Structure 1
Amino acid sequence: MAMFAHRPRRSVHQVRLLVAAALLTVGSLTACSGTAEEGGGGDDAVLTMAVAAPPTLDPYKANIDLNNIPTVALAYAPLIRMNADRTFTGELAESFGYVDRQNKVFQLKLRPGLTFADGTPLDAPAVVKSLEYMRTVSPKAKTWAATIASITAPDAATVVVTNSSPNPVMRQLFSQAILSGSVVSPAGLTDPGQLAQRTFGAGPYQLDPAGTVAGDHYTYLPNPRYWNKDGQHWKKVVVRVLPDANATVQAIQAGQIDYAALNADAGPAVAAAGLKHITASVAVLGMVLADRDGTVAAPLRDVRVRQALNHAIDRATIAKTIFGEFAHPTSQIAAPGFDGYQAALDDRYPYDPDRAKALLTEAGYPNGFTVKAEAHTPGIAAVAQVVAGQWKKIGVTVELTTDTQVPQWLEHVMSRKFPVTAFGYGNLPTYLSSLDFMRPVANPFNPYATDDAQLRQALDRAIAEPDPATQAGLFQQAVARLTDLAWFAPVVRMDGIAVTGSRVAPLEAAADNGLPSVVTVRPAT
């Protein structure tokens, strides 16, 4: 999708938005050309996969989406690996963890003898230089790593990250799931502009410029200096840019593509074709009831109105009608497997138009009201249109505007022109999502910088709590409070779909946005 092509100064909020929005388009055969030798249908040791749009090769400028995660993972090894069960093991770092009780000081010990693909030694000073570059250019760092005060290398094997305030997600931050721990060679950082066209990592593969045509296909060959030879499953990986999901399904059927990650809209076609696939929740879609102080839309000041709007949404029908079996109704922003999730909150606002009307009457709006709303991208707009129709049944008229470009949507949202907006948001740990959803800082998901003392206190306790179980309970309290406040009207959790051809071994769901990392994809035996 053209609108998701990389822009160097993209905001961190836009990056998070694109985690979901990038799932609303993927792969087409129309751009697929080349010989059988280059991929699908040819050598069993060659993997050919599809992405929706040209990737960004600079790992720190890349959006966390289905276009960029695979290409970054191929060439750049993370410091830490997040496993399928969301536990963590060492990758470039053989050990890691907090060395204080406040979740402020995080230490990593590197494996001995590491080398970048270009032959440069991978030691602690090189990691520090890479992470400092990340802090400078990464849109993610502007919020997710904003607490980092210093990164030092007390010796050649040790990296110490010190935060100015508690940051409990340093493991995630330096894993493949967030990309910020994808270490870049000092040779690449001598001229950072070259990172857009070449790779300077320590991952299992490296870009082959001779086999690459930017914007069409990218070829990766094994990195002879990779530390874990058992992690190299292919003699070549070809990444093709294919913009239509239905054609991608046909290409997999024809044996021309071996692997693709698709959005929930493609689910019926995948199921009808009988293709091997796995699914995992990757994002939540819904409505931001943004004007909680009633600055533009006075009715939204009353929590009963916001709760009424939640009760007026038939989530199950929306999930089935738009996404088939590949989306699930929910009333909360947290997802299964993350620390703030509670299954009971999925049905916190059951579909009940009578209850919705009663709440509107109690709040002083027996005849409803009119409100302006804004949406963007086809998938998110489709959800918003159905929600608007359901709200109409309780007397709430929505004047819906649909933007075609995310930057335009962001501009309108941040100018507070629309008291209600539609959103898509990739699944994240509660600490990271709270920076958008729960903190009184103006951003596209809280443009009016709404504050709630009880919510803020729960978050403050959670982020400083060293015990994971206690911390998870505190994050659950925060998510429950957010849900009761009805600052949002979540509608569905949308699945991503990893689809494979006959030459690929069965997949296991993993922690890269819920879908397997491409480096774990193996040939069929």
Structure 2
Amino acid sequence: MKFGPKSSALAIFAAAAIALTACGGGTSAGGGGGSAAATTLTLGSVSDLKTFDPTDAHIGHTMPFYQAAYDTLIRRAPDGKLDPMLATEWSYNKDHTVLTLKLRTGVTFSDGTKFDAAAAKANLDHFKEAQGTDAYQAASIKSVAVVDPSTISITLGAPDPAFTYYLTQALGLVASPKAIGTPGIKTDPDGSGPYVYDAKSSVKGSQYVFTKRSGYWDKDLQKFDKITIKYLVDLTARTNALVSGQVDAALLDPKTGKQAEGAGMVAHKSQVDWQGILLYDRTGKINPALANVKVRQAMNYAFDRKTILAQQYLNEGTVTNQVFGPESGAYVPALDNSYPYDPAKAKALLAEAGYPNGFTLKIPTVAGFDAINAVFKQQLSDVGIKLQTESIPDANYVADMAGGKYAAATFQLYQGEPWVAINQMISTTALYNPFKSQDPEMTALIKAVQNGGEQSGELAKKVNEYVTKNAWFIPMFRLNQMYYSNKKIDVQPELQQAVPSIYNYAPAK
């Protein structure tokens, strides 16, 4: 099975993450267009950059920071197809345990070092060893071998239906071998990407500036002379920045979206994520109550999802009780009726579980989740559960959740292809399964999906049914992502991504 230009890989996968959410010059003085083609692009980001080290990269909102400075081995096109980037073609052996990649020649890193098979291997090996934010993407790698200067082979411990997709994400980012593992790469990226980081014009925690790299191998990807990404944690500030022309595109919400539309901004809507509460501590290590399935089920019955969606998101979304979306292949329509709003039943289940007076649950919060967490707190208090919120820095949110510091957390996750979703939130190597919840039944279900080939989506329905019945999560809604841009730029939305990849922007024609 071989893949090359304009070909699709094993499946089309997803990306997205948290809808959380400082200002300078954009491409125009306002949002309404203009005759001259834009030469700069300024984006408003809902998430700040942790570091420029690829091992700190995380699928979703921070990927554009990395895509500006680094190439990936494979590039994901707007329609979800997998296209060549540093790898020009790739193929699996018969049992899908060895992936061979033919690499592009004539590519250099920003420090002048040549890209070759040894560099590709060094990055993959380091990513696996470093155990960074998205380490799960390398979990199936057994070994990486240099076949010749422009070819590598990756041996997997078992088939991984999502592996080529991961090579478009954090795992696929390639840095100079001279920079890998050094302190310097955290503040100064050293990649082969279309842009280079302008540290003098950048301010950590505020704005990150990139300028077009001279001699880049694919000039078609360099559509602007300069790209600036501004971290705008405050939703109002982000909306004002877009409307005033200080940024060219940003993710808003249903309420601020109306303001943007009134100012002539262009809307790009898609249902990418599900939002809700992830109940991590299903073994009761931090919070014993969560080890009881009746407690987790009670929490699911405690929420009036329809009212919350209407009041908080102006009905821009769909109520759900499951974490797999309609396009995933693992969606089961009947599961969306699993937990209708029933506070009386929630109280009864809590009593049966030995918590007639409820219990206290502490979760982290950041600015982007403060409002919805206040609603969740009220709804849970109605059935006797006290929700305590602890404010933490946005940049620490994912790491603290993945590190098992909290028993539960409010979050948004994309509704990807089954194997991607399983390995992000369900398997024992999943980033969002920090307490490694598992049992023999789930292990068997996951193994069936892994080896299911074209039937993997159908087999994943059993995984969906299991986690829904056992209330591993509290899904609330499949939200419409409200991404807006001005008329000075053209934007191609990316399938199943909340924000487009950096390659998907161009000056308006």
Scaled by the length of structure 2, what TM-score is found?
Answer: 0.82
**Match for 1:249 among 239, 256, 263?**
239
Alpha carbons of structure 1 residues 416 and 220: separation in structure 2 relative to 1, 3 Å = closer
**Match for 1:184 among 175, 180, 186?**
175
- Which amino acid counterpart does residue 438 of structure 1 have in structure 2? I
The equivalent of 1:222 in structure 2 is 212
The equivalent of 2:164 in structure 1 is 171
- Which amino acid counterpart does residue 516 of structure 1 have in structure 2? P
- Which amino acid counterpart does residue 158 of structure 1 have in structure 2? T
- Which amino acid counterpart does residue 176 of structure 2 have in structure 1? S
CA distance in 1, matches of 2:194, 2:404: 45
RMSD: 3.7
The equivalent of 2:361 in structure 1 is 373
Contact 1:202 1:225 survives alignment (8 Å): no
Q: Say yes or no: does 1:492 pair with 2:477.
A: yes
The equivalent of 1:63 in structure 2 is 58
CA distance in 1, matches of 2:27, 2:352: 68
Alpha carbons of structure 1 residues 114 and 328: separation in structure 2 relative to 1, 3 Å = same
By how many angstroms is 1:517 displaced? Answer: 0.9
Which is further off, 265-274 or 367-376?
A: 265-274
- Which amino acid counterpart does residue 276 of structure 1 have in structure 2? V
CA distance in 2, matches of 1:494, 1:423: 14
Alpha carbons of structure 1 residues 266 and 340: separation in structure 2 relative to 1, 3 Å = farther
Give unpaired runs (5+ residues) of structure 2. Answer: 1-14
Secondary structure of 2:458's match? helix
Contact 2:25 2:246 survives alignment (8 Å): no
**Match for 1:74 among 51, 68, 74?**
68
- How do 1:25-174 and structure 2 match up within 5 A? 25=21, 28-29=22-23, 32=24, 44-52=38-46, 54-55=48-49, 56-66=51-61, 68-101=62-95, 103-137=96-130, 139-140=132-133, 142-174=135-167
Spell out, residue by residue over 1:50-71, the C-alpha distance to the aligned partner (whole angstroms, 9 max, x if none).
33565332233233342x3112
- How do 1:371-410 and structure 2 match up within 5 A? 371-377=359-365, 378-380=367-369, 382-393=371-382, 396-405=383-392
Secondary structure of 1:115's match? coil
CA distance in 1, matches of 2:46, 2:398: 21
By how many angstroms is 1:127 displaced? Answer: 0.9
Alpha carbons of structure 1 residues 480 and 131: separation in structure 2 relative to 1, 3 Å = same
CA distance in 2, matches of 1:215, 1:114: 31
Spell out, residue by residue over 1:333-370, the C-alpha distance to the aligned partner (whole angstroms, 9 max, x if none).
2234435334543443333456656x739x84799541
By how many angstroms is 1:35 displaced? Answer: 10
Spell out, residue by residue over 1:401-452, the C-alpha distance to the aligned partner (whole angstroms, 9 max, x if none).
111127699879988985xx333142254434434643467986463x5434
Contact 1:285 1:380 survives alignment (8 Å): no
Contact 1:44 1:523 survives alignment (8 Å): yes
The equivalent of 1:4 in structure 2 is none
- Which amino acid counterpart does residue 54 of structure 2 have in structure 1? P
**Match for 1:360 among 331, 346, 349?**
349
- How do 1:191-270 and structure 2 match up within 5 A? 192-262=182-252, 266-270=256-260
CA distance in 2, matches of 1:146, 1:163: 9
Secondary structure of 2:75's match? strand
By how many angstroms is 1:155 displaced? Answer: 0.9
Alpha carbons of structure 1 residues 290 and 118: separation in structure 2 relative to 1, 3 Å = closer
CA distance in 2, matches of 1:514, 1:397: 35
Alpha carbons of structure 1 residues 303 and 86: separation in structure 2 relative to 1, 3 Å = same
- Which amino acid counterpart does residue 136 of structure 2 have in structure 1? T
Spell out, residue by residue over 1:17-61, the C-alpha distance to the aligned partner (whole angstroms, 9 max, x if none).
x9644x212xx43xx369979x99987212122335653322332
Alpha carbons of structure 1 residues 516 and 365: separation in structure 2 relative to 1, 3 Å = closer
**Match for 2:445 among 458, 475, 478?**
458
CA distance in 1, matches of 2:103, 2:39: 31
